[in-house]
């Protein structure tokens, strides 16, 4: 966990006071909606179909039990008893009243949570690997650098009015769980041949209307130079990024139009002017941040304790363990993913009661820490393997132990037309139907790793472009239709999926996905060949034939 | 959502209402013929010509304190006089989400 200092607490509290005053003036008519809109967006407040939506940041996906309980409190006191975890380590509340928002923010501020820069044309919540600090083989905890960027970009005047929103993601593992290649700036922390810690810097990734995979702008930037290099990128973007057309305003368009070489040259020129400025990071700064992260006092524990051997006779436990329990860097411990994808449930939603119960379990079994992943699941990062059987029973009781992590029913979905004012079509009912179709664990397990991502519009909050199977809702003559892509992925081999054919109506989407899966099962070279690898080997044609032959 | 400004240029092709969200809590509301707002679609003023729609929208936007995001939305008027939303989006705004909420209301 990271401990905020007095400055952080002051900033958050002052922001609550400011917003309270702004809301008061808005409700009295002193501020018009035109004047107020930007202010509310800078505090994560959107207007959706039924109500205001309130988006709260969970920096680099790390929560304490106190913080999770505060989120549960907000869900219960100010909303309808649940929240929705998003693909960018935020949580959204869908039914909040503007008049009560300052109180909700004040309650969250007490535990160091805020909604600053969760919307608007500024630098957004810095995201990271949900296994940061505990993943085996990780270079170092990427949250140290995420926190550095959080401090640097929060309320930064030069980056508060960018041409468009701007998103960072950081990973320090070979396997990318933070989807860095689809972010405006993606950072991969690694050690170079000289043993120095630094970053591969990628720029211009993003989804939405015009998807691009990020390009490497510099293969190695030393940690000391991270802020100056990032600032150089943001300055070039701020100078040349388009402000005349919202659809062409993201940095990905600028990088595409200038070309990565020209863009890199501009950045390099800018960087060389400021590289040795005050932005050069002193080791002491990093050490100070590092010292504010606390790590558990792990015990020396056996890898295969008696409790685990005994529980291995229970097939339900074993199914869950094999699916949802992952190796930890410390022997005797494990990382446990909590599936927020129950059969028939809305992906990523958790009730206030579940959040409170998870906080209790984190306290008991995970040194009081919870993580949020971009796949809209939670994780307990420090679970002693001997506690797995007891934890499983408790998780199962509250409905977050569905053994479907990374399987076909572990679906990423945006809120879609059920909530969102931008959506053209519903996402959640499609996801729910798919979870029912693939509810059988043996079948899902036999299919293997398969990511289905659903967006209700081209803005791609459900990351459909990078789903192994991507589903995009569109509107045709007043009816919901869905375009299907396959072959996308969000990991270190990130790729944008390929459209397989004409959009299909709402009622046929689940059938089409079943057809695609059946085609894969028939086409895969061997049971171990993953869906994504079969698509890579064969292309989309055999899948297209299968889907459209009878349609 | 089409902005109110753009909608001023749009011609309606059937019965329509003006809808918005209530400022203090975001609840879906409809402009009434009495220059007020109601959470009931049945209370909405129905407009049938583009001129009427533009006038109702202009009047609605002028109430910046009471409502936000006002726009013209299509409706169906049944033979019985009942008013129904004219598309899925408006149906969802009126009836609520099409899924079961994680916590029943």
Per DSSP, the three-state class of A23 is helix
A413 three-state secondary structure? strand
Q: Counting beta carbons within 10 angstroms of the beta carbon of residue A494, is it exposed (0 to 12), middle (13 to 18) or buried (19 or more)?
A: buried
Mean pLDDT of all residues in A156-161 = 91
pLDDT of the residue at B4: 55
The CA dihedral of B17, B23, B27, B30, to the nearest 10 degrees, is -20
Phi and psi of A405, rounded to 5°?
A: -60, 130
Contacts with B105 from chain A: Cβ below 8 Å: 80
State yes or no: ipTM above 0.90.
Answer: yes
Contact A254, A242 (CB under 8 A): yes
Q: How far apart are the C-alpha atoms of A334 and A65, rounded to whole Å? A: 19
**pLDDT recorded at residue A324:** 98
Q: Inter-chain contact B101–A82, Cβ cutoff 8 Å? A: yes
pLDDT bracket for residue A300 (50, 70, 90): very high
Helix or strand holding residue B52 (H, E): helix B50-62
Task: With beta carbons less than 8 A apart as the criterion, state whether A476 and A483 touch.
Answer: no
> What six digits make up the tokens of A474?
């569109």
CB A83 within 8 A of CB A48: no
Is B26 in contact with A51 (Cβ distance < 8 A)? yes
Give the dihedral of Cα atoms A133, A139, A142, A148; nearest 10 deg.
130
Q: How sure is the predictor about A495, in pLDDT bands with cuts at 50, 70 and 90?
A: very high
Helices (H), A281-314: 283-292, 306-311
Please tell me the predicted confidence (pLDDT) of residue B6. Answer: 56
Interchain CB distance below 8 Å, B103 and A96:
no
Residues of A in contact with B30 (CB under 8 A): none
pLDDT tens per residue, range A230-247: 999 999 999 999 999 999
Measured between beta carbons, the chain B residues lying within 8 angstroms of A428 are: 97, 99
Beta carbons within 8 Å of B5's beta carbon, 6+ residues apart = none
Of the candidates A118, A69, A73, the one whose C-alpha atom is nearest the C-alpha of residue A96 is A73
Query: What is the pLDDT averaged over residues A70-98?
Result: 97
- pLDDT averaged over every residue in chain A: 97
Tell me the β-bridge partners of A216: A202
Task: Quickly state the pLDDT bin for A448 (edges 50, 70, 90).
Answer: very high
3-state secondary structure (DSSP) of residue B74? strand
- Check CB contact under 8 Å for A351 and B27: no
Q: What is the pLDDT of residue B1?
A: 47
Average pLDDT over residues A434-455: 97
Structure tokens at A454: 């659903």
Q: What single DSSP character describes residue A302?
A: -
How far apart (Å, rounded) are the C-alpha atoms in residues A447 and A529? Answer: 10
- pLDDT lower than 70: segments of chain B: 1-8, 10
Chosen for mutation from B97, B98, B100, B105 (greatest number of chain A CBs closer than 10 Å) is: B97
**Taking an 8 Å Cβ-Cβ cutoff, which residues of chain B contact chain A?**
1, 21, 23-28, 64-65, 68-69, 87-89, 92-93, 96-99, 101-103, 105
What chain A holds in terms of domains, given with CATH numbers, is: 6-109 (3.90.480.20), 142-291 (3.30.413.10), 306-397 (3.90.480.20), 412-548 (3.30.413.10)
* Domain boundaries along the sequence of chain B: 4-94
pLDDT digits (tens, 9 = 90+) for A183-209: 999 999 999 999 999 999 999 999 999
The 10s digit of each residue's pLDDT in A339-382 is 999 999 999 999 999 999 999 999 999 999 999 999 999 999 99
């Amino acid at each position: 966990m990271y401990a905020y200092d007095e400055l952080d607490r002051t900033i958050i509290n002052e922001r609550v006071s400011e917003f309270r005053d702004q809301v008061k003036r808005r409700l009295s008519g002193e501020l018009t909606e035109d004047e107020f809109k930007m202010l509310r967006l800078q505090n994560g407040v959107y207007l959706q179909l039924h109500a205001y939506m309130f988006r709260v940041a969970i920096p680099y996906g790390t929560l304490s039990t106190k913080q999770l309980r505060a989120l549960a409190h907000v869900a219960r006191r100010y909303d309808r008893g649940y929240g929705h975890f998003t693909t960018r380590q935020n949580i959204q509340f869908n039914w909040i009243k503007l008049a009560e928002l300052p109180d909700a923010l004040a309650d969250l501020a007490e535990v160091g949570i805020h909604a600053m820069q969760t919307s608007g044309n500024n630098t957004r919540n810095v995201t990271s690997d949900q296994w940061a600090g505990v993943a085996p083989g990780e270079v170092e905890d990427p949250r140290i650098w995420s926190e550095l960027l959080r401090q640097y970009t929060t309320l930064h005047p030069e980056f508060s009015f960018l041409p468009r929103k701007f998103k960072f993601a950081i990973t320090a593992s070979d396997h990318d769980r933070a989807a860095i290649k689809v972010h405006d700036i993606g950072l991969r922390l690694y050690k170079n041949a000289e043993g120095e810690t630094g970053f591969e810097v990628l720029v211009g990734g993003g989804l939405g209307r015009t998807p691009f995979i990020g390009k490497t702008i510099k293969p190695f930037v030393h940690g000391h130079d991270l802020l100056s290099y990032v600032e150089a990128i943001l300055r070039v973007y701020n100078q040349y990024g388009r402000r005349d057309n919202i659809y062409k305003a993201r940095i990905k368009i600028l990088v595409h139009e200038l070309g990565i070489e020209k863009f890199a040259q501009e950045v390099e020129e800018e960087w060389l002017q400021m590289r040795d400025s005050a932005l050069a990071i002193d080791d002491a700064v990093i050490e100070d941040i590092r010292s504010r992260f606390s790590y558990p006092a792990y015990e020396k524990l056996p890898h295969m304790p008696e409790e685990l051997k005994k529980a291995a006779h229970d097939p339900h436990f074993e199914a869950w363990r094999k699916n949802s329990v992952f190796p930890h860097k410390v022997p005797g411990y494990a990382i446990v993913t909590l599936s927020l994808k129950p059969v028939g449930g809305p992906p990523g939603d958790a009730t206030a009661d579940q959040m409170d119960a998870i906080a209790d379990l984190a306290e008991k079994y995970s040194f009081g820490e919870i993580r949020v992943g971009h796949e809209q699941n939670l994780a307990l990062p420090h679970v002693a393997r001997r506690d797995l059987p007891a934890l499983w029973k408790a998780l199962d009781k509250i409905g977050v132990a569905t053994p479907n992590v990374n399987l076909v029913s572990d679906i990423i979905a945006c809120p879609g037309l059920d909530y969102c004012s931008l959506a053209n079509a519903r996402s959640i009912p499609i996801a729910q139907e798919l979870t029912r179709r693939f509810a059988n664990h043996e079948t899902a397990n036999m299919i293997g790793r398969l990511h289905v991502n659903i967006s209700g519009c081209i803005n791609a909050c459900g990351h459909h472009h990078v789903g192994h199977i991507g589903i995009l809702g569109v509107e045709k003559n007043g009816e919901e239709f869905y375009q299907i892509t396959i072959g996308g992925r969000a990991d270190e081999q990130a790729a944008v999926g390929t459209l397989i054919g004409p959009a299909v109506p709402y009622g046929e989407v689940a059938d089409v996905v079943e057809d695609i899966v059946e085609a894969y099962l028939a086409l895969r070279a061997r049971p171990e060949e993953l869906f994504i690898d079969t698509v890579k080997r064969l292309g989309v044609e055999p899948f297209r034939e299968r889907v459209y032959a009878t349609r | 959502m089409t902005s109110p400004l753009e909608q001023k240029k749009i011609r309606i092709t059937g019965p329509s209402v003006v809808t918005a969200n209530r400022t203090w809590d975001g609840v879906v509301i409809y402009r009434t013929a009495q220059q007020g707002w109601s959470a009931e679609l049945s209370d909405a003023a129905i407009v049938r010509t583009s001129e009427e729609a533009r006038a109702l929208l202009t009047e609605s936007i002028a109430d910046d304190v009471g409502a936000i995001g006002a726009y013209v939305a299509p409706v169906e008027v049944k033979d019985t006089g009942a008013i129904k939303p004219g598309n899925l989006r408006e149906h969802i705004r009126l009836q609520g989400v099409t899924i079961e909420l994680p916590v029943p209301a």
